[in-house]
Chains A and B, each alone.
Chain A
Amino acid sequence: MVNRQPIDAYAHDIDEEKQSSVSGGSAASTDKRYSALFSDYEDPNALRRLASRIKDHTLHHLDDYLEQAESSLKRNGCHVHFADTDDDARDAVLSILREREITRLTKSKSMASEEIHLNDHLIKNDIEVLESDLGEFIIQLDGDVPSHIVRPIIHKNRREIARTFQREGIADDYNDDPEAITRRARVHLREKYMEAEAVITGGNFISAESGRVVLVTNEGNSRFGMAPSRVHIALVGIEKLVPTDRDLAVFLNLLGRSATGQQLTVYTEFISGPKDDSQPSGPEEMHVVLMNNGRTDVLASNCREILRCIRCSACQNVCPVYRQASGHAYRSPYGGPVGAVLSPILFGDRFPELADLPKASSLCGACNEVCPVDIPLPDLLLRLRDKAKREHIPQPGDLPMAPFATLATSPAIWRTAMTMSKAMNHLPIEMAPVRPLQDWLGQRTLPEWRGGDFRKWLKKRQSD
């Protein structure tokens, strides 16, 4: 058995149907992004740089903006909760629900909640949680985990979904027409919205100045979840702050275009507190849980730029490694280049286990080019590789440099090795002489030896 790095093992073992769903889906998103940004703006890169500078400024003053956001949220009538750890965040949500004896709620897609496995925790505590984003709803029915930041079921096809609906009694018969699937979910979910007492959402941005929590969805699920609910809980990472409402113009223009090629996501909701008395529908109470869960470790690291991320998934869509391996290979809610950088630091106690992620990249640079907040993802990946090396985290597939040094310093051995390398692709890997070499070869197809001409030419020249 070849001992592969975990991410490579995923990429190797992934079933073909799933891999083609993932790579086709992400390639389509990449194309849409490109045409939306480049047809709408003369110089989209100027906009990306502007966004990146605003985020840097915000992160450098995060303490001030967090305090400002807190007072703005309170002024708007929100209850503000701080959660330093994942435990704190789960407890905060649970105690809000318990105090109000709420046992039924819907939830609109939130990566922050995925991070802390909030659903499991609530269900364990006898609270019924229903995911309302179509993709997340299907994920929940299947007991699966999302494989993409924006399109959680990118790895599933319609047949699989139709079978799930039939199995779970969402529908009586099998129908794999995407329209039928959507209508069936519509009927099922709206009934649940109306019964729910609370709704949990994430938050894409919070304006520190006004305390507006900005939430974007295409389906309208957070809007529908909120309308009949008494209590709204927004679970938001502390890095989601922007200084002012005006800054939102920069980020909203970039987010929809980078994620799905839309000028704006269909529903962009600006929420400042519980509903007014004059409005019949909407929560009477609003809670905002500001969650750290490792973000300050990221801020303290030499990869703090990753906190600029607005979770658009553009880097994921464009990444050849993600397209091959799928999101599950990244073993955290964040797949693709953003996950390869963020997860090993955010979940710091899992660093050794996740240290293979930064290595799974060809450093082609495409991720940096598409990132709406201009995060130098390839540089950050290198910094993390360096960290793994400094911390002596052994990786399956690491080829010790000594054999390479021997090869490279001896022309004769080098020549032999190169001409043999093609043959080595056909040899059983187990025949390779040393274990690390087995692992290394197990993950690579060596190119055919095309050299020799230079050597011949030089020899000829010397003898002439």
Chain B
Amino acid sequence: MSRDSILSKIRSALADVETKAEHPGFEDAAVVSRVRLGDGSPIAAFTRNFEAVHGRVMRHADPLVALLKEQGRTFGYCDPELMNPLGHALTAAGCTVETRYDRTRYDDYEFGITRATAAIAETGSLVLDDARTSDRLAALSPWIHVAVLREEEVHATLPEAIAGLGNSRNIIWVTGPSKTADVEGILIEGVHGPGEQIAFFLD
């Protein structure tokens, strides 16, 4: 059986190791980039690092409405719990906003608004946790993804974010829009996932 044969091969391969290496242990500070964290607040660091990877940070519906108008995107999905305040503001601005993600229309949704659980200041990442993402596809198939969170949910560092992973079956850190440099090393955004990644902070 593969299991036993692998284990016994490992054991005999290691038979000549006289002193097995100990886990070195480390302080969180040893792996944190002080430079990325900077001296300001975690929110300031998040904004700086997230914008550096072409993410956009918003706090009001107006700039979102303006962006949708500019790109001519009018049809989207919104987590029902986020209709107030965000979804309604978009409806008022003339968008069609659905609160049930219909899988057969995966390619029609131009924007998707879902809840983020946290963010990481040091790396400029959003944390999407299955437990709070109303539908994974809604955060993935639309060109624009709006991840909604509160300022106090931002972790300062990556080790803190790892410590806060919790028990969810699926968590994804999103550091900017989907991208590739496969063709001649040229950066193209929006490969399979969103081409615009927005972090939206609730008051």
Contact = CB atoms under 8 A, between A and B. Distances in A.
Contacts of B53: 262, 266
A443 to B, nearest CB: 30
Interface string A48-89: 001001101100111100110010000011000111110010
Contacts, number: 258
A454 interface: no
A194 B130 contact: no
Contact of B192 (A153, A224, A265, A276): A224
Contact of A66 (B7, B106, B140, B141): B7
Contact of A266 (B28, B141, B165, B174): B174
Nearest to B24: A53
B31 interface: yes
Interface in A150-208: 151-153, 157-158, 161, 178-179, 181-183, 185-187, 189-191, 193-194
A53 B22 CA distance: 8
Contact of B2 (A138, A218, A292): A292
A221 B30 contact: no
B162 A245 contact: yes
A246 B23 contact: no
B141 to A, nearest CB: 7
B137 interface: yes
Nearest to B141: A190
A157 B184 contact: yes
| Among B21, B124, B191: residue with most chain A CB under 10 A | B191
A227 B33 contact: no
A404 interface: no
Given A76-B169, A151-B181, A228-B137, A134 B191 contact: yes
A40 B172 contact: no
Interface of B: 1-3, 5-7, 9-14, 17, 20-24, 26, 28, 30-31, 33-36, 49, 53, 101, 103, 106-107, 122-125, 130-131, 133-137, 140-141, 158-159, 162-163, 165, 167-186, 188, 190-194
Interface of A: 21, 24-25, 28-29, 39-42, 46-47, 50, 53-54, 56-57, 60-63, 66-67, 70, 76-77, 81-85, 88, 132-135, 138, 151-153, 157-158, 161, 178-179, 181-183, 185-187, 189-191, 193-194, 210, 212, 218-221, 223-224, 226-228, 238, 243, 245-246, 248-250, 252-253, 260, 262-276, 278-282, 290, 292, 296-297, 299-300, 304
